[in-house]
């Protein structure tokens, strides 16, 4: 760590001193009235110039207050209808030297032929370039940040409009381009989804703030656009002013921010002129991009394009810019999903394969969205059904893979339950208190029945008239399926010889149960313990008959607390077991 820090300081010094003496112009060299030009792409891959004139300098102390105020004009600005979202990162040159990156524009303007804008100085961008420079091999420790709603870089929130005589500078936030999503998967990406009102064993494993997953809108990305596909360009290259993608998912589904390259220095690349998700250390994909056109809108125009193949990685997501490497691709998390609709005559498998970024705030969201999209493609409907889900989650930081199977029933939308539990567990693993799981693969398969496959427990009968501590208790459980066919299961449990009396309780129930007051909480002291505990949680198709006795401490506290002491289980194939029946059994105590 000390050597890396020393090298970083040395590189920052090299970039600041050497580059500023040749190709960069520092903020303290710039004065109002200076003129120059900027580079961007309005359509296709062709670089076009726009004219700039320095109007003022914002040099308040602190990184967030340093900007060059410019007046931008010229054919590129006129053709776009003003400064567009997606132009962020466009390099601005003064006196033939790189001064910084276009990053913000004043909104609600009436003259679309010229526009005031803010430029992030190269002084600050150079630090991001140094952070990802070739001499440092980036192996960032991604912070497991609590999900939160972030303001824009200038402190404003999304969708802020004009008020009175106040002028607003709007960050030219990179529009997020998606390909391969249905409308409702796209809605999940934008707005997130609740992980549910957990009331079972999983609930205790999640902090309350982690029970909902923020969407891109919550993270400051206000513009998400559906693209027709993926582009591949043989003449694409890393060059200042050219388009670039900051990828979140690649494969059968493509998601990523669309922006502009500011500077290329060796294998280091800086883009956007502001943050993307403001993650600091990051592992996004650096991708090709192609601009179809720039579309004029009422508030501000926007670049519309597609993303292409991965060409490197983004390893720094800072206030002044994102920094990437052209020679190093982050590993990401492999998704291998497959859904079969047993109600369709062809029984066609619908596989989905993609790689998503290792970004804790997004992993549950991206996985859930991918699972929902896979389900919708397979089912081609929204409606009821029963689904059996099997999944395995692997990570280089996990002592062993987590493997689990469960069955879910829905009377409204069964597709939601294909990825739901696995997404919950991805969140639990990511925010566990023991070790970074460093997730690398999630593999899931699901079989969907179009009908309701459910078994309701209707009765529980014990065989015998009198019982004492140490006796066996024979029982029969009666249950009926959705259409009323009755089945029965028989078994036997044993009353502990030390049962204190005056009674024991025999209970038949389906799926998992909450801990009783007399039972100690699970002892989870490591990531391995956590994985084992999750794997042992009873699935929804499990019928359990369990014997409970009074906690021996009941006599001291005066409160009746039960504890489970013996039980029998039966797995009901592909059917959710619900309902609960219990019997109190008086105990005959010996002399």
Tell me which of 330, 358, 386 is where a domain ends. Answer: 330
Confidence tier at 113 by pLDDT (50, 70, 90): low
Whole-number average pLDDT of the chain: 83
Q: Write down the pLDDT at residue 158.
A: 38
**Residue 15 shares a structural domain with residue 119:** yes
591 within a domain of the structure (yes/no): no
pLDDT score for 154: 39
Same domain, 298 and 352: no
In a domain, 249, yes or no: yes
- How large is the average pLDDT for residues 442-459? 94
Chosen domain end from 330, 363, 391: 330
| 307 in the same domain as 370 | no
- Does 479 share its domain with 374? no
Question: Predicted confidence band at 34 (pLDDT cuts at 50, 70, 90)?
Answer: very high
Which segment of 140-144, 384-388, 452-456 scores lowest on mean pLDDT? 140-144
Please count the structural domains in the chain: 3
The dihedral through the CA atoms of 350, 356, 360, 365 has a sign that is: negative
**Mean pLDDT, residues 404-430:** 93
34 and 174 together in one domain: yes
**Residues 328-355, mean pLDDT to the nearest whole number:** 89
| Residue 126 · residue 19 · CB < 8 Å | yes
Q: Which residues of 178-199 are buried (b: 16+ CB within 10 A; e: fewer)?
A: bbbbeebbbbbbbebbebbeee
Query: What tokens does 510 get?
Result: 């389906």
pLDDT over threshold 70, residue 530: yes
In the predicted model, what is the mean pLDDT of residues 111-115?
A: 61
pLDDT in tens, 15-25: 443 444 469 99
Q: Given pLDDT bands bounded at 50, 70 and 90, which one contains residue 261?
A: very high
Overall pTM > 0.75: yes
Of 458, 87, 414, the C-alpha closest to 274 is 87
Q: What is the per-residue pLDDT for 219?
A: 84
**Is the domain of 286 the same as that of 377?**
no
56 and 109 assigned to the same domain: yes
Inside any domain, residue 211 = no
Does 279 map to a domain?
yes
301 plus 373 within the same structural domain = no
Q: Give CA–CA dist 177/302, Å, rounded.
A: 12
What does residue 15 show for φ and ψ, rounded to 5 degrees?
Answer: -65, -45
Q: Are both 315 and 425 inside the same structural domain?
A: no
Report whether pLDDT(374) > 60: yes
State whether residue 42 is helix, strand or coil.
coil
Binning pLDDT at 50, 70 and 90, where does residue 64 land?
low
Residue 153 reports pLDDT greater than 60: no
| Distances from the Cα of 174 to the Cα of 223, 305, 321, 527, angstroms | 8, 12, 11, 37
Which range, of 149-153, 212-216, 467-471, averages the lowest pLDDT?
Answer: 149-153
Give the CA distances from residue 215 to residues 66, 185, 257, 307, 363, in Å, rounded to whole numbers and listed in that order.
30, 11, 14, 20, 11
Q: Is residue 13 part of a domain?
A: yes
d(CA 145, CA 363): 12
Give the 3-state DSSP-derived string for 341-394, with helices as H, strands as E and coil as C: ECCCCCCCEEEEEEEECCCHHHHHHHHHHHHHHHHHHHHCCCCCEEEEEEEEEE
Asked if 483 and 468 sit in the same domain, the reply is yes
User: What is the total residue count of the chain?
Assistant: 591
Domain residues for the domain of 347 are: 333-449
Residues 384-416 pLDDT 10s: 999 999 999 999 999 999 999 999 999 999 999
- Kindly report, residue by residue over 283-332, the tens digit of the pLDDT: 999 999 988 777 665 556 777 788 999 999 999 999 999 999 999 999 89
pLDDT at 151 over 70: no
Identify whether 311 is part of a domain: yes
Confidence of residue 567 (pLDDT cuts 50, 70, 90): very high
Query: Does 14 score more than 90 pLDDT?
Result: no
Q: 17 and 136, same structural domain?
A: yes
pLDDT at 236 over 90: no
Give the separation between CA 61 and CA 26, rounded to whole angstroms. Answer: 16
Question: At 163, is the pLDDT very low, low, confident or very high (cuts 50, 70, 90)?
Answer: very low
Percent of the chain with pLDDT over 90: 52
521: confidence class by pLDDT, cuts 50, 70, 90? confident
Is 197 domain-assigned? Answer: no
Is 222 a member of any domain? no
Mean pLDDT of 491-509: 93
pLDDT tens-place string over residues 472-488: 999 999 999 887 889 99
For range 369-398, the mean pLDDT: 94
**Residues 180-196: tens digit of each pLDDT:** 888 899 999 999 887 76
Last residue of a domain, one of 424, 449, 474: 449
Same domain membership, residue 136 and residue 23: yes
């Amino acid at each position: 760590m000390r050597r890396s820090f020393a090298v970083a300081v040395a590189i920052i010094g090299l970039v600041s001193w050497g580059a500023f003496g040749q190709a960069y112009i520092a903020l303290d060299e710039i004065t109002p009235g200076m003129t120059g030009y900027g580079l961007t792409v309005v359509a296709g891959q062709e670089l076009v110039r726009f004219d700039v004139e320095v109007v003022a300098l914002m040099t308040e102390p602190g990184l967030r207050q340093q900007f060059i105020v410019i007046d931008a004009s010229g054919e590129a600005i006129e053709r776009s209808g003003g400064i567009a979202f997606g132009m962020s990162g466009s390099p601005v040159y003064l006196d033939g030297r790189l001064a910084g990156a276009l990053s913000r524009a004043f909104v609600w303007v009436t003259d679309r032929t010229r526009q005031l804008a803010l430029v992030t100085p190269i002084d600050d961008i150079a630090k991001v370039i140094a952070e990802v420079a070739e001499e440092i091999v980036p192996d960032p420790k991604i912070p497991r940040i609590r999900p939160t709603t972030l303001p824009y870089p200038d402190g404003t929130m999304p969708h802020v409009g004009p008020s009175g005589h106040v002028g607003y500078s709007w960050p030219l936030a990179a529009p997020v381009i998606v390909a391969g999503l249905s409308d409702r998967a796209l809605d999940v990406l934008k707005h997130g989804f609740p992980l549910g009102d957990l009331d079972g064993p999983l609930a205790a494993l999640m902090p309350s703030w982690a029970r909902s997953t923020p969407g891109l809108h919550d993270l400051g990305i206000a513009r998400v656009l559906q693209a027709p596909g993926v582009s591949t360009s043989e003449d694409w290259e890393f060059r200042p002013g050219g388009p670039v993608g900051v990828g979140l998912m690649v494969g059968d589904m493509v998601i990523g921010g669309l922006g502009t390259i500011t500077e290329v220095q060796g294998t280091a690349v800086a883009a956007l002129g502001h943050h993307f998700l403001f993650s600091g250390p990051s592992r996004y994909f650096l991708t090709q991009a192609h601009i179809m056109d720039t579309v004029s809108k009422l508030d501000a125009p926007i670049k519309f394009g597609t993303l292409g193949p991965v060409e490197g990685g983004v390893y720094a997501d800072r206030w002044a810019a994102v920094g990437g490497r052209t020679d190093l691709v982050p590993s990401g998390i492999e998704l291998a999903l497959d859904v079969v609709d047993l109600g369709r005559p062809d029984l066609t498998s619908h596989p989905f394969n993609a790689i998503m970024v290792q970004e804790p705030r997004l992993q549950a969201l991206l996985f859930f969205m991918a699972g929902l999209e896979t389900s919708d493609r397979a089912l081609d409907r929204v409606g009821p059904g029963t689904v059996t889900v099997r999944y395995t989650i692997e990570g280089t930081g996990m002592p062993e893979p987590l493997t689990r199977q469960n069955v879910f029933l829905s009377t409204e939308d069964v597709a939601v339950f294909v990825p739901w539990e696995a997404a919950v567990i991805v969140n639990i693993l990511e925010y566990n208190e023991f070790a970074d799981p460093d997730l690398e693969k999630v593999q899931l398969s699901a079989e969907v029945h179009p009908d309701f496959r459910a078994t309701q427990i209707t009765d529980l009968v014990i065989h015998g008239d009198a019982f004492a501590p140490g006796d066996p208790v024979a029982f029969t459980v009666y249950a009926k399926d959705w259409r009323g066919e009755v089945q029965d299961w028989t078994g036997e449990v044993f009353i502990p010889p030390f049962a204190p009396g005056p009674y024991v309780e025999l209970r038949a129930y389906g799926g998992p149960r909450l801990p009783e007051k007399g039972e100690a909480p699970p002892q989870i002291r490591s990531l391995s313990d956590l994985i084992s505990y999750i794997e042992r949680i009873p699935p929804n198709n499990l019928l359990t008959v369990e014997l409970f006795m009074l906690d021996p401490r009941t006599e001291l506290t005066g409160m009746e607390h039960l504890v489970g002491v013996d039980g029998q289980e039966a797995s009901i194939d592909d059917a959710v077991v619900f309902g609960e029946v219990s019997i109190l059994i008086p105990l005959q105590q010996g002399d």
